[in-house]
Amino acid sequence: MKYLIVGLGNIGAEYQGTRHNIGFTILDALAEASNIVFSTGRYGAVAEMRLKNQQLVLLKPSTYMNLSGEAVRYWMIKEHIDLDHLLVIVDDIALPFGQIRIRPKGADGGHNGLKSINDMLQSQQWARLRFGIGNDFPPGAQVDYVLGYPTPEELAVLPERAKVAVDAIKAFCLSGVTFAMNNYNNK
């Protein structure tokens, strides 16, 4: 079986390591733990790995967040991947920093990357792993917060929380979305 695992973020040095790029950060942690490297592909950086009997295609779109759906649709078609084998890792201000929530489907919740994917796939029936980035910002400062960098306290726990997210991705691919939700939501 083949899975497409997408980490959302924005390309460019000015976005590297920001809260909004947590999807890239999680995929980098998975690639590092698996001793694989990304190469430049159409619409993004791509890496492939095997996980037991599953084949995983990892994608960090280069389309910028608002056009993530173009990259996702291209790679789903190219690799012949069904919607139920798609997992998107995304930042979420509604969750405390590092908290994970996996869902089998859903609306975009105001997230432009998810909106683009929903629009391009004409469906909300695909799994997402929401990684909390917190919401410690004053009214009107959401954009600066999301495009800002984690605090030293958040950075201190990020490697551990990224490892939990990586384990959740593996659980999704090996045992399905329900198992991953039951074992990793709010962990």
Q: Cα(124)–Cα(104) distance, rounded to whole angstroms?
A: 9
Query: How long, in residues, is the chain?
Result: 187
Residue where the block lists tokens 């976005």: 15
List C-alpha distances in Å: 106 to 114, 126, 161, 168, 181: 9, 8, 23, 18, 14
User: Is residue 20 annotated as a catalytic residue, yes or no?
Assistant: yes
86-92/127-132 β-pairing: parallel
Residue 45 half-sphere exposure toward CB, CA atoms < 13 A: 18
Q: Which of 20, 80, 85, 111 is catalytic?
A: 20
| Active site amino acids | 20
